[in-house]
Structure 1
Amino acid sequence: MIRSAVFLILAALAAAFALSLAGESGRASIVWLGWRTDTTATTLLILVLLVSFLAFSAWRLVLWVAETPRRAAAARAESRRRQEIEALTRGFTAVAAGDGAEARRLAAKAADLSAEAPALARLLSARAAETAEDPAAAEAAWTAMLAFPDLRLAARRGLTTLALTRGDRASAVQHAEAAFALARTARWAWRVLLEARLEAGDWEAARDLLKTGQDRRIVSPEVAERGRAALLAASAAQLDLTGDVRARSRAADYALEAARLQPGFAPGVVMAARLLSGQGKAGRAAQVIENAWKVAPHPALWLALRDLKTQETPRERAGRLATLAALNPGARESRILTVEAALTGGDAARAVELARGLEAEPLTARIAGLMARAAFAAGRPDEARVWRGRGIAAPGEPDWSDLDPEGRAFAYQPADWARLAVSFAETGELIHPRHERREPGLSDLPDLPMSYAEQDFTGLEAPAPFPIGEGLQGEEDDEPDLIPPPAAPPPARRRLARPPRDAK
């Protein structure tokens, strides 16, 4: 408005100046209350503009004076807003720095100053109480935030965290369920609910929650599929323990579905093969194992295949194992299986030859035991003893730890199945709870005689990578050679569900 008035005045002055230059100043007469004034038109125009400007300035001055209280109030509000923002900023910085006392002081100051951002002040109060390790004050602050719709989700998360911290799983689940109902993408709430279902061993509810997570795009379809396969295997293991016929039938269906979804998840495949075998469907069980071997070979798979048939000759059994190894010949487990097949078939020379191909592999107790068995079968007991000595100090293989001392595969507790499900869903890799706990598993090393035997190494490679006796335990150098070496190594006891009958 001021700009417009100034522009009009300047324009009028310019017009008057132009008229005066042109010599046409004109004449004007003013009669007012008996008075008459004669002047030029240019002078009159200038006087009118001057009076107008003075009147306008006086009016603006009156308005400025009238608006002084409002301007003062606005200035005070702006100063208060700046102080509030500064208190909030410094308060959240103190929370991030872990300074609980300073955070609480600034939270109180922000609460006193809050006008435009009361939600942030309440949030700072709750976080400051948590940082100051005052759970009672934090719970009170979070609970107060439940009264505000915009803050309910944050309040539920804060209350859930507090409940989990004090070990109150029931309250944590209650708050997580409420939060999951408020927000479709509350991943933290979904995770709390899933962990609660897994901890309780409620595999069916966990599968339903996993499906909900996939529908809400909390987890990807790949993660959901892997998790569902692992949970199906856990359900099958749980039902199998009941011994009920119907339950075992449902367990077989669950295990088959798990093997179909994820052929590389060995627990589900082994479970499916064992249950199918119990139903007299050995052929289908073998097919399930073969499909899994192509994807991810695991020692429990070939042991399960071996136990599908008990009435067969060693040569027939060796042929079945060799056929399985040929499905994925480049895999390490397949190369180990070829040695096992040769030993099973009684072909010691081929077993030794194939075992030599494993010498480049990192030495484990299982590899050392296999080398010892091959050497012993070839009539080289001293070399076998050396390999056994090396195996005593060698690390075990995680996959081999999935077999318990009785040879049962994946005989896990519900907590182990829960960890298996989470890990396999997230990474696609199989963890080994028994290996992590360092529990004893199926023996890696064969039992050999304690005495040495005379042996002719003419034309053979030196059997000992280090002096005989190094790494061996429980032996004396002057022990007499009283026990002759047996013709064949004693068979190791390995089984998944029941001990196989001796091959005929």
Structure 2
Amino acid sequence: MIRAAIVFFMVAAVAVAVLALTGDPGRASVVWLGWRADMTAAAAILIALLASLLAAVAWRTVLWILDAPQRAERARAEARRRQASDVLSRGFLAAAGGDGSEARRLARKAADLASDAPGLVRVLAAQAAEAAGDLDEARAAYTAMLGFPEMRLAGHKGLMQLAAAQGARETALRHAQEAYGEARTARWAWRALLEAKLEAGDWPQALDLMKGALDRKIVPPVVAERARAALLAASAAQLEHAPEPKARALAMDHAVEAAKLAPGFAPGVVMAARLLAQAGKVGRAAATVENAWRVAPHPALWLAYRDLRTDETPRERAQRLSELAAVNPTHRESLILHVERALIAGEPAAAHEAAGALEAEPVTARIAGLMARAAFAAGAPDEARVWLARGISAPHEPDWSDLDPEGRAFAYHASDWARLVITYAESGELIHPRHERAERTLRELPELPLAYDDEPMLTEPVLYPVEAEDYGEPEPPALPGPGTGSGRRGGGRRRLATGPRAAK
């Protein structure tokens, strides 16, 4: 109606303007029922437009009166929808807050008001029953949802959660499997199945699930790649000690693929290097470790790199380690490796100088032990004692806990691998189960005396990075100490040498 009035005034204004510009007002005559009216053309136009406007107003008024019943019905329906929306909102909030009685009352009220939203009413009824502790009613409500295609996924999820809460693991997994088979985006179903496979140590099935999740775009590619790398490493760890040659060959293939997918995943790289070296592919194993060192140095990497060859002199081994450190020269682990390299090569002055680059690093037990070994080898026993004292109260490094006292790297249980897969896939970070369980690890502090005694602490620097008999050389003499002679010291070969021999 407002638009019609605007049009009327615009037309009238245009007509009056045209007549004014022509200078001739014109004349118009109207004869009706014996009456005659003479007027100007402008007046006639205005009268005609006004009559049209009045006719339009009258017609709209008649339509408005005739539409009154439908308008009242629409108003009632809108009020009902608003009330139903309010009841559903308060019902879901009550269920989420654990107020079961209020949630059930509102669910019954919503069933009367929200006839156009049966799905929401059923979900609210099920959640209200759960909040009230009536599991039978909740199960019945979720089961009823399975009969409606658009509600089947919600029904399976509710039934899975109820079964899991009651310890019915097989039933919960069955609902997760059915939901995963129906919906392309049921991430919760995929996650439940994946966790079940990981807990059972079924790495091949977990790999299939991860591939399916990538195809369905449930997880991003970077997460899928990290998960596949960790799963392949877990599978390799399981197959590594199998008696069948085919299983061991498959373990090597899995470890190598894991190292390719995630060069920064140290467990997979160390395993790949070890299995490749056992297969006589030392050059390929070295390249695998070097690539990983470039991405994410880890202490287990340089130890695996060190043990790739056993037919070399200490200086040759130190030269190889120097080449590894040069791959990522500014990293903290490379600075540590320079000190270890010098100790292996029998260069105490170089070790002490290289240790100076670590003085700005936060003091940990490992750093303190390394500094003490370098000072001890360089003939500075007082400095070594200071570092040992600092190392006693310093925190331990979680990465170093990945190596057990026997020198095995990443000797994880199946449950540790299961946790590692999830954590590494989602965050790209390693977990340290041995550190969490406070298990015994390699000694970070060398066995050097902290107190002064009558005999000198050190007669000459003794480096003990590896056993001398590895190279067919005579063994160094033992350190003199109270109550000990100067004869050779016995003991088996250490796989991972972390410090000089103890002075007793």
Aligned pairs (5 A) from 1:101-120: 101-120=101-120
Change (3 A) 1:438 1:97: same
- Distance in 2, matches of 1:197 and 1:17, equals 98
Deviations 1:99-124 (A, max 9, x none): 22211111122224442222211111
Secondary structure at 2:446 match in 1: coil
Q: TM-score, normalised by structure 1?
A: 0.76
Partner of 2:317: 317
Deviations 1:189-245 (A, max 9, x none): 111111111111111111111111111111111111111111111100000132332
Quick check: 1:381–1:452 contact (8 Å CA) kept in 2?
no
Aligned pairs (5 A) from 1:47-446: 83-446=83-446
Displacement, 1:484? Answer: 8.5
Aligned pairs (5 A) from 1:460-475: none
Change (3 A) 1:349 1:137: same
Deviations 1:412-468 (A, max 9, x none): 011111111111111222221222222221111111246526899xxxxxxxxxxxx
Secondary structure at 1:293 match in 2: helix
- Distance in 1, matches of 2:335 and 2:74, equals 83
Quick check: 1:377–1:488 contact (8 Å CA) kept in 2?
no
Identify the range of structure 1 (339-348 vs 485-494) with the bigger mean alpha-carbon deviation: 485-494
Deviations 1:21-77 (A, max 9, x none): 4189xxxxxxxxxxxxxxxxxxxxxxxxxxxx9xxx9xx99x99xx98x99998887
- Distance in 2, matches of 1:332 and 1:492, equals 31
- Residues matched between the structures, number: 424
Displacement, 1:91? Answer: 1.1
Give the letter for the 2:36 counterpart. Answer: A
Deviations 1:267-326 (A, max 9, x none): 111101111121122222112111111111111011111111222221111111111111
Secondary structure at 1:263 match in 2: coil
Displacement, 1:98? Answer: 3.2
- Distance in 2, matches of 1:340 and 1:322, equals 10
Q: Report the RMSD for the aligned CA atoms in angstroms.
A: 3.4
Q: Which has the larger radius of gyration?
A: 1
Give the letter for the 1:345 counterpart. Answer: A
Flag structure 2 segments of 5+ consecutive residues without an equivalent. 1-28, 39-57, 457-480, 499-504
Quick check: 2:339–2:355 contact (8 Å CA) kept in 1?
yes
- Distance in 2, matches of 1:133 and 1:437, equals 38
- Distance in 2, matches of 1:441 and 1:20, equals 122
Secondary structure at 2:358 match in 1: coil
Quick check: 1:376–1:489 contact (8 Å CA) kept in 2?
no
Change (3 A) 1:142 1:491: same
Displacement, 1:126? Answer: 0.8
Secondary structure at 1:357 match in 2: helix
- Distance in 2, matches of 1:422 and 1:295, equals 21
Give the letter for the 1:237 counterpart. Answer: A
Displacement, 1:18? Answer: 5.0
Change (3 A) 1:410 1:21: same
Displacement, 1:87? Answer: 2.5
Secondary structure at 1:334 match in 2: helix
- Distance in 2, matches of 1:383 and 1:132, equals 69
Flag structure 1 segments of 5+ consecutive residues without an equivalent. 1-14, 25-52, 457-480, 500-504
Change (3 A) 1:483 1:328: farther
Q: TM-score, normalised by structure 2?
A: 0.76
Identify the range of structure 1 (238-247 vs 353-362) with the bigger mean alpha-carbon deviation: 238-247
- Distance in 2, matches of 1:400 and 1:151, equals 51
Identify the range of structure 1 (199-208 vs 423-432) with the bigger mean alpha-carbon deviation: 423-432
Secondary structure at 2:315 match in 1: helix
Change (3 A) 1:483 1:372: farther
Quick check: 2:87–2:109 contact (8 Å CA) kept in 1?
yes
Quick check: 1:380–1:455 contact (8 Å CA) kept in 2?
no
Structure 1 ranges of 4+ moved more than 4 A:
15-20, 70-83, 453-456, 483-494
Partner of 2:463: none
Pick 1 or 2: higher relative contact order, CA cutoff 8 A, min separation 6: 1
